[in-house]
Structure formats: C-alpha cells, structure tokens
Structure 1
C-alpha cells in the first residue's frame, strides 16, 4: 500500500533534490541560519510537498496548479543558489552541478504537467 504520489518519478526526484539542498546548506555560515539557509531549505522542500498535496484528492486542474507551485519553488531554490554562489558559500562547480539538476527537474515537472488532460 502506498500513496499515489509516491509512485511519481517527479516526487521521488524532488525528494532527493531536497536532501541535496539540505546537505549543501549545512555548510552555509551560521549567521545565515534564519536567512538564506532557512529559505533555500523551505523552497526546496516545497517542491515535493506541493506535488504530494496536489496529487491527493484534487481535480486535474488543481493538480496542475500545484505542479506550478512546485516549479515556482524550484525557481526560488535556484535564486537562493545564485545568492549562495555570489556570497562564496558554494563553488562555481557545485553551483553548476545543482543548477543542471534543477533545470532537469523543472523540465520533468513541466513535461508531466503538460501530459495531464483536463
């Protein structure tokens, strides 16, 4: 027995992505704990949270709306990554690696959303 969203590849990948961001942000300076660290963690966690929330007992139109929220949370996460790179909390290489993962995840969520017929 499992929830419907647990079978979705985009949910699984967004869960993994959230853990990558959590582990990355552990190395941000302590004075960022209530700012950038908190923000990037909440934004990245929100990707999977919105997928699961939209998947359960929602119309197809509502589900598509929640997938849009996930995409927005992903964009927020990427903006936080830019902040971390600009503040020298992460290297250019690490930024590029996670940026590419972000872009791939975004395209997968968009493709999934486009397949949902109302």
Structure 2
C-alpha cells in the first residue's frame, strides 16, 4: 500500500495524527467494499460503497494536507490510484442507484 510507504517518513509528531488517520482511511476503502459485498441486500452494499467513497475523500484531503505541510511532494502514482479507485467506486455504485 502506497500510503504506508509514503507515511513511514513523516515526522514522529504525526504518528498518532495524520499518519494514523491516512492509514486508517486507506484501509477503510477496501474493507468497506468487502463488507458491503458480503451483505445480503443491495441497500446495504450501496451504503458500504458510499462509506468507502467517503474514506477515499478523507484520504484525498489528508494527501493534500501532507503536501501543504511539506511532508511529501505531489505523487503522480498516489493521485492516479485515488482517481482509479474513485472511478471504480462510481462504476460500482451507478447500477445500484
């Protein structure tokens, strides 16, 4: 996971702040997709996909904050992954709506 690789060099002061939050958001995305897929009803699946999308939005915000705080530089790979996951979630949600 790219988020783990990037955040390992963050300042120690952020270990329980931005680092932990970014890692939780990154883990929450696939976890919520999986949990939703395991549910019996489409309504529940849609809810968990929405939560996964919310976690992606959180991660994007934490990424931008990390850049603003000069902890990292723009990372094309991370930006591409976030865009790809966002598109994937949109495609997964669209037929259920």
Q: What is the TM-score normalised by the length of structure 2? A: 0.92
- 2:73 paired residue among 49, 72, 91: 91
Deviation at 1:76, TM superposition (A): 0.2
Q: Distance in 1 between matches of 2:40 and 2:66?
A: 36
Structure 1 moving runs of 4+ over 3 Å: none
Deviation at 1:113, TM superposition (A): 1.6
- 2:56 paired residue among 74, 77, 81: 74
Deviation at 1:99, TM superposition (A): 1.9
Deviation at 1:57, TM superposition (A): 2.9
Task: Give the unaligned 5+ runs of structure 1.
Answer: 1-18
Q: What is the TM-score normalised by the length of structure 1? A: 0.77
Q: How many pairs were matched up? A: 97
Deviation at 1:90, TM superposition (A): 0.7
Q: Distance in 2 between matches of 1:40 and 1:105?
A: 15
Task: Give the unaligned 5+ runs of structure 2.
Answer: none
- 2:90 paired residue among 110, 114, 117: 110
